[in-house]
Amino acid sequence: MKSIKKKIVITGGQGRFAKTLKKNNKSLNIYYPDKKMLNILSIKSIENYFKKTRPKYVLHAAALSRPMDIHDKKISKSIDLNIIGTANIVKVCEKYKIKLIYFSTNYVYPGTKGNYREQDPVLPINSYAWSKLGGECAVKLYRNSLIIRLSMCEKPFIHKYAFSDIKSNFMFHDDFVKIIPKILNKKGTINVGGKIQSIYKFAKKSNPFVKKKSGKKIFPPNPSMNISKLKKII
């Protein structure tokens, strides 16, 4: 693949996915700022960093995710990082005409029937997904943007337990890295994930010691996505 030299900034530059991206990236010119270099809660901080680096694209991966109950216990923190922080990124990207790619989640779907397409109605059942949907609302106002509804994790699967009663499209960070160059110039919304299967079945392939657990009190039973749109691109 021909090297893409246009500058890219990834928020959450020291996070789990960013570290995998940095390790495996072969073609993209990416900057990986830490929280001190780029504070998404500060418009001034964002503007200063974008003025300095002049990116063509921003991958907005910075977010509060784990543990899931933190979004109920610390509502203000969830709102600040996942909604207000995202809105701040949108504002600055719009001001400087930077393409924005937002990392959302498949948990924004109701999760009752599975195989959701991008145009299907959304209705989260947990606070984490509501916070990510709040971020989506801000991103939708900016036309030069792409929302990616993702289902991914580290390789190998690092948790002791995996949900046997929740179906999803989990893929590993490494696999998503390969997709990024192909979707940079897309707009709208794209579901990104792997094969539809239980999270336990997916986890077992990379972690033979993982144990079964029920997740129905936390997650919808089947938030799996239809990825036919993605397949046409890659």
Domains defined along the chain, listed by start:
4-158+169-195+225-233 (3.40.50.720)
| Residue 94 token pair | 């719009």
Q: How deeply is 221 buried, as exposed, middle or buried, from its count of CB atoms within 10 A (0-12, 13-18, 19+)?
A: middle
pLDDT of residue 3: 47
Tell me the per-residue pLDDT of 96-118, one tens digit each, with 9 for 90 and over: 999 999 999 999 999 999 999 99
Residues 6+ apart with CB under 8 A from 230: 179, 190, 191, 192, 193
**Is the CB of residue 135 less than 8 Å from the CB of residue 82?**
yes
Tell me the per-residue pLDDT of 182-208, one tens digit each, with 9 for 90 and over: 999 999 999 999 999 999 999 999 999
Tell me the per-residue pLDDT of 143-157, one tens digit each, with 9 for 90 and over: 999 999 999 999 999
Question: Above pLDDT 70, what percent of the chain?
Answer: 98
pTM of the model: 0.95
Residue type, 213: K
pLDDT of residue 217: 82
Strands (E), 86-187: 99-105, 145-150, 152-153, 161-163, 167-168, 171-172
Q: Please state, in angstroms and rounded to a whole number, the distance separating the CA atoms of residues 132 and 216.
A: 20
